[in-house]
Amino acid sequence: MTLRYASMADVIFSDVLRFLNKNLKRYDRSTLLEVISKFYHEDELYDAKCELCKFVTVLQPDTVPPDGWAKYVNNKGAPVARRTNDPGQRRRSEADDLIHMLTLLDVNKIDVPKCVISDPDRIPSTPSCTWNTASCDTPLFTMMSSVQQVVAKFAETMNTVIQRLDGLEAKLSAVQNIQSSTVMQEQPNLCAPVAHMLTEEKLPTSASPEVQPATKSWSDQAKDLRDAAPNLVFSNRRPSVRVRGQAATGSVKGVLRQLTCFVSRLHLDVSEEELTTYLQNQGILDAKCRKMSAKDGRVFRTSAFRVSCSSRYESLFYDEATWPEGAELRDWVFYNNGR
């Protein structure tokens, strides 16, 4: 929404404001600051600030200056004059104030009156930046140079990784060939299906020109090895449980597997009897609780228990609503210890 003003000049004769209004959104602030602080005199920059202050003072009474405007004017509404012993620094400070004042008006959607040129010779040339020129030192050019360096480094790293992967693949193929030949030498009586599988890639294609051997997946080859030569497959994993009996008989009795968990973050005052009674009230009738004691003189702010029950209460045992708020359950780990 553009604000309306009760009275203001139709135009402002200012070479500085004409140049900035035209290029404020075309170039970055550092480029404009460098151009106008070196081209214009200190009094020209200050007069441009005065024109902006006059423009703001004629706004309607119900329209307040934009936020941050008071930083650039004194208590009389005149622009603040920057004072320093360095003339170049004074021009740069005045130019910086002028750019910020125009930016505040633009952000608040306040249209500045048309600015016209009073002296065509007092308009600097349009800033330009050639990317092939080493003297270009804008932040955008610096960022683009950094991005190009990162991309080049990434491409170099990827080429190195690809070369290493190619080398590893060649070594892996050689190792697989050696292992295949070693298995054939150490197992001369290997049954025919396994021997055929291990050597099918070595068979000459001319032996059976009409029928080509089918390519098998790694999983199919592993199954063939397991079925053809069981002695070649070693595993320490327990077979998975397929069936859990549920029939009630009078002669043959089964032993239900115990569920065991490490229960922690209970209050220090909780005893074994209290926890057992609590779980029985929750429906776990055969719960057994043993309170854990700290070792090596360690002191804890909470207590922990070894809790077990039969598998018939599995749904209650692993239900969050069964345990007190804040308690934590972890599976109890059993170690073989070589026995």
Digit-coded pLDDT (tens) for 37-58: 888 888 888 888 888 888 877 7
Dist. CA 90–CA 86, nearest whole Å: 6
The residue segments making up the domain with residue 308 are 258-331
Q: How high is the pLDDT of residue 272? A: 95
Examine residue 166 and state whether it is found in any structural domain, yes or no: no
Task: Choose one of 84, 100, 122: the last residue of a domain.
Answer: 122
Q: Which of the four pLDDT bands, split at 50, 70 and 90, describes residue 7? A: very low
Which segment of 38-52, 116-130, 235-249, 287-301 scores lowest on mean pLDDT? 235-249
Examine residue 140 and state whether it is found in any structural domain, yes or no: no
Dist. CA 55–CA 21, nearest whole Å: 15
Dist. CA 257–CA 265, nearest whole Å: 26
The pLDDT of residue 10 is above 80: no
The pLDDT of residue 127 is above 70: no
Answer yes or no: are the C-beta atoms of 216 and 198 closer than 8 Å.
no
Higher pLDDT, 227 or 243: 243
Dist. CA 14–CA 25, nearest whole Å: 18
Answer yes or no: are the C-beta atoms of 130 and 75 closer than 8 Å.
no
Longest dimension (CA), the chain: 117
Examine residue 247 and state whether it is found in any structural domain, yes or no: no
Task: Choose one of 122, 157, 183: the last residue of a domain.
Answer: 122
Examine residue 231 and state whether it is found in any structural domain, yes or no: no
Examine residue 136 and state whether it is found in any structural domain, yes or no: no
Which pTM does this prediction carry?
0.35
Examine residue 210 and state whether it is found in any structural domain, yes or no: no
Examine residue 177 and state whether it is found in any structural domain, yes or no: no
The pLDDT of residue 133 is above 50: no
- E strand segments, 103-156: 114-116
Q: How high is the pLDDT of residue 90? A: 83
Say which CATH number the domain at 267 has: 3.30.70.330
Examine residue 288 and state whether it is found in any structural domain, yes or no: yes
Query: Do strands 328-331 and 258-266 pair parallel, antiparallel, or not at all (unpaired)?
Result: antiparallel
The pLDDT of residue 156 is above 60: yes
The DSSP bridge partners found for residue 334 are: none
Answer yes or no: are the C-beta atoms of 106 and 23 closer than 8 Å.
no
Total domains, the chain: 2
Q: How high is the pLDDT of residue 94? A: 84
Task: Choose one of 122, 153, 182: the last residue of a domain.
Answer: 122
The pLDDT of residue 328 is above 80: yes
**SS3 state of residue 267:** coil
Condensed to tens digits (0 to 9), the pLDDT of residues 191-238 reads 455 545 555 544 444 444 455 555 666 556 665 665 564 444 445 556
How does the average pLDDT of the chain come out, rounded? 76
Answer yes or no: are the C-beta atoms of 276 and 289 closer than 8 Å.
yes
Long-range pairs of 188-194 with CB within 8 A, sequence gap ≥ 24: 190/229, 191/228, 191/229, 193/224, 193/228, 194/224, 194/225, 194/228, 194/229, 194/232
